[in-house]
Structure 1
């Protein structure tokens, strides 16, 4: 059995993380060493590697699906100048729907409509599903058995988060603004209350009202724990 010194093990793990096109789990990293290293041993190597990259333009970060190298937020704006494509814009209704799901999950479409005060367009839900940010994780045990929506691990990965507990606190901000500061919202369009994408009035239910949506304890979204 080949015995590696800690520096060689770090180099192997660092190279694998650099070349990976997706976050790597601890289980996958152990395969690099034929499972001769324990999970704790891998985590110790990750801590050492992360320390070596402190204060540089790239950081080692744990996200929902594992570990990855990524650019630091304070240098990303400069890198974006090399690729000046505008990020996709989402309607305010889409961002509000996503924020409700993220902060109130699991929720049904009816729950979302109760909070927003307007009908949720099927196109909005499909857009979020196609983006890989939300999915149906079960059904509420009521007549009609409506689907319960929750966010995905991909959603957390795209925000650079390891678990739902790391979601930004609202601190009085609209949830959609606190949740997705990196996404651009389209200018709101005036619409009637019958329009599925109409903006809710100021006196409609707030996202901060914890009693607005029932949240059954037996339907916990799986995204709250990072991949091992």
Structure 2
């Protein structure tokens, strides 16, 4: 029996090249606590959101990742940070209430980057109408969308090249990236503000964009879109 326990410990430590996900030698409560600790430590150590498939490698095959996350978040309820579902995974993020304190302490912007109003509007259109070409964006806004603006969004990692458009010359289209989801606190594109609701409010309409009538309404409705812009 002692030898079996020793082998279990060796397996957990990785000494024999194995990793004990199931932890069958532990009582249920201790097993659950160890799984919670593993998940929280992995997310804490990662620089990017950690997905479900990654977390499944370190817990038992019958373990519910969602229930583990719920229990971790419950323990973090009184802490200045939380475990947030974002960009297809989970990440430790500080709570918005402490943004001013963090900014004052370290002298950094509350956001990693600041975007101009034009960049926010173009990024929003790409998010809702992707994959989309630069020519289509120019048509939407009634003026040319510069290569520099697109290049700036690309350099920040918010957009990437999508499939070639079925048009003469097969121009590139643009799509949003995981970095876009992370920056705006979205788990997936399904978490964007409801398109129909925005259209009903007069804040988003492809027809109005094509007619060049949307800019004033969007400029006045940025708060409802949930996007912060640099004035």
TM-score by length of 1: 0.71
- Supply the RMSD in Å over aligned alpha carbons: 2.3
Q: Secondary structure at the match of 1:90?
A: coil
Q: Secondary structure at the match of 1:14?
A: helix
Give 5+ residue unaligned stretches, structure 1.
186-228
Give 1:183 deviation, angstroms: 3.8
TM-score by length of 2: 0.70
Q: Secondary structure at the match of 1:67?
A: strand
* Correspondence for 2:36: 10
Q: Secondary structure at the match of 2:82?
A: strand
1:181 aligns with 2:212: no
CA distance in structure 2 between the partners assigned to 1:7 and 1:135 by the alignment: 40
CA distance in structure 1 between the partners assigned to 2:177 and 2:106 by the alignment: 27
1:121 aligns with 2:146: yes
Q: Secondary structure at the match of 1:79?
A: helix
Residue 85 to residue 11, structure 1, CA distance change in 2 (3 Å): closer
* Correspondence for 1:64: 87
Residue 90 to residue 158, structure 1, CA distance change in 2 (3 Å): closer
More relative contact order, 1 or 2 (CA 8 Å, 6+ apart)? 1
Give 1:55 deviation, angstroms: 4.5
CA distance in structure 2 between the partners assigned to 1:90 and 1:61 by the alignment: 23
* Correspondence for 2:67: 44
* Correspondence for 1:100: 125
Residue among 9, 27, 52 paired with 2:53: 27
Q: Secondary structure at the match of 1:37?
A: coil
- 1 or 2, which has the higher helix percentage? 2
- Counting matched residue pairs gives 182
